[in-house]
Amino acid sequence: MSDEIQERAGVPVLVCDPAGPPVATEQDALDLIGAAFLGAQVVAVPANRLDERFFSLGTRFAGDVMQKFVNYRVRLAVVGDISAQLAESSALRALVHESNQGGQIWFVPDLDALDTRLRDAR
């Protein structure tokens, strides 16, 4: 599977291939945003594609990536199990909790949970 735009819960979503290239730089994030401009409103990135620096908030990588999505008004969904990273960082737990309260950036365990969020956001 390659990254592909799918309609999920009535919303066009760029669903990224779990085996795709890592998101390790801001340019990688911008490339996903550019791909979303072909018709997606949301980019669903598997958590395993995100460089570990994303989950270490001291690096500021997560903030930089998330800000790019906000600036370009493309929603970001981090999809997958991040329980190990959450167990290691109260700051990350707070970020995930706060993000999940809004409508721009979500952390969800799987695509079914993303579908539920998308339906509830309408």
User: Token match 């370009």: residue?
Assistant: 72
Q: Decide if pLDDT at 122 tops 80.
A: no
What's the CA gap between 117 and 108, in Å, rounded?
9
- CA-wise closest residue to 119 among 19, 30, 11, 31: 11
Measuring CA to CA, how many Å separate 71 from each of 40, 68, 92, 104? Answer: 16, 5, 21, 10
Amino acid of residue 70: V
- Averaged over 39-49, what is the pLDDT? 98
Cα–Cα distances in Å, from 57 out to 6, 92, 120?
Answer: 31, 7, 29
Q: Confirm whether pTM is higher than 0.85.
A: yes
| Number of Cβ atoms within 10 Å of the Cβ of 24 | 15
Residues of the chain above pLDDT 90, percent: 98
pLDDT of residue 37: 96
